[in-house]
Amino acid sequence: MPATDLCYLGLVEVGRQIQAKKLSPVEVTKAMLERIERLDARLKSYACVMADSALAEAAVAEKEIASGKTRGPLHGVPVAIKDLCWAKGAPAAHGMTIHRDFRPSEDATVVARLKDAGAIILGKLQQTEGAYADHHPKIDPPKNPWNADLWPGASSSGSGSATAAGLCFGSLGTDTGGSIRFPSAANGITGLKPTWGRVSRYGAFELAATLDHIGPMARNAVDCGAMLGAIAGQDAKDTTSVPLPVPDYLAGLPGNLRGVTIGVDRRWTSEGTDEAASKVFSDGLRVAAELGAKISEITFPDPKAVIDDWFPLCGVEAAVAHEATYPSRKDEYGPGLAGLLDLGLAQSGTDYQKVVLRREAFRGAVRLLFESVDLIAVPAQAFAAPTLAKMAALGEDASLIAGLLRFTCPFDMTGSPTITLPAGFAPNGGPIAFQFVGRHFDEAGLVRAGDAFQRVTDWHTRHPAL
């Protein structure tokens, strides 16, 4: 099999071939490492390549599989992790210069669980500073493999770029305001943001504790389901993780949406949404209806206040996460993250409590919607495939910030699970996506919906020319 074709196989598919002994974990890992060496000097998606440990893990997997031991769908499959997730002995800079020498003495729970599932860890993927909006001024940001002039997404930009470019079969990202969904949409891959509490956050640097979600990014919904099945579940090291059983996300995939009611607020999803994003969203709804879904009109609670509140809430929680180094080492921070921390430190107790109360009221209003619908459909963002030049004006353009966060941060404020599905291309060649949002802890329903959509569309199978 040509190396390029191999590197673009789906995660579950390459796992099947490895476990059937048609492919060697060692040879697949070598092919991925060679591709990283050849392409990533240009793409900058990896913060740290862990070649020696990856090859050692691949050799163990090969021996286990040869002896008849199979750990599951990820066994022998090379994946990568966002830099903020600890991997024992490997640098974990968190997109910051201040942590460049930190090497944790243990794995994050999600990394340990990937290893327990037999996955091969290729390395750590680059991210924005502290997982906020901007890359640190001293770090060369990842490039969008479709077009270097297009935004690669934030903050899991390396995860999006590497997965789209065939430099791993799947990756871990995190989402606090949209950072699984932005790079999934921007790079034409599938991203699954789990319910808050479904996945342990132990051993992952925080941006904002009650907003942070760790989840899989891959080239299709089934692959995301396989990764989520490996990392999800209660963890004694993170007492905010929820003690619910983890379903088999690869079971019961009917390939249709019969019996599924999808809620849509036509006004909210169309106002201020550009033509390309609107068309992709409409096309996605049409496909869902053809698959048997009932499209139901809903009125989504006005998210303006919680979008505005996201900034001070994130700032307060981030100030707690950074209190050991900020403001005492402020000169080592970039302006974007420093501005967020200053905002958080400026909040009064009464300001914060008002935010908390508005958030809880909004969470309740969204929860009520799911009494009459199974999923809610929304665009990934209000404008399609933004350029780097456009995003450079983010700090000066309030409408740009609102359009960016409009369909993402409300579901971090509620902790709702979402799946982001590639569904078209903009006139500038950049990928466009839309989202399904589910009930809390119904990630299985999102995997089923994403799989059904991807069985009859081919957007997720298209790859950048590299």
Active-site pick, 24, 44, 115, 155: 155
Catalytic residue among 179, 184, 241, 416: 179
Residue 427: other Cβ atoms inside 10 A: 9
Whole-number Å distance between alpha carbons of 439 and 22:
39
Q: Catalytic one among 44, 82, 115, 193?
A: 82
pLDDT score at 393:
79
Mean pLDDT split into 10-residue runs, the chain, 466 residues:
85 98 98 98 98 98 97 98 98 97 98 98 98 95 98 97 98 98 98 98 98 98 98 98 98 97 98 95 98 98 96 97 98 96 98 98 98 98 93 77 91 98 97 98 98 98 96
Instruction: Report pLDDT for 2.
Output: 67
Torsion of the alpha carbons at 257, 448, 144 and 464, rounded to the nearest 10: -70
Sequence-distant (≥ 6) Cβ neighbours of residue 451 within 8 angstroms:
220, 221, 222, 225, 253, 255
Dihedral angle computed from the Cα positions of residues 458, 187, 379 and 462, in that order, rounded to the nearest 10 degrees: -10
| Strand 170-175 relative to strand 78-82, pairing | parallel
Determine the pLDDT at residue 395: 66
User: How much is the pLDDT for 85?
Assistant: 98
Give the whole-angstrom CA distance, residue 311 versus residue 439.
Answer: 25
pLDDT of residue 392: 87
pLDDT at res. 402: 79
pLDDT of the residue at 149: 97
The DSSP annotation for 58-109 comes to: HHHHHHHHHTT----TTTT-EEEEETTB--TTS---TT-STTTT---SS--H
User: What own/partner pairs with CB < 8 Å and gap ≥ 24 does 2-7 have?
Assistant: 3/31, 3/34, 3/35, 4/166, 6/31, 7/31, 7/32, 7/35, 7/166, 7/167
pTM (2 d.p.): 0.98
Please, is 385 exposed, middle or buried when counting C-beta atoms within 10 Å of its C-beta (0-12, 13-18, 19+)?
buried
Domains and CATH numbers, the chain: 3-261+385-402+409-461 (3.90.1300.10)
CB 99 within 8 A of CB 93: yes
In the annotation, is 179 catalytic?
Answer: yes
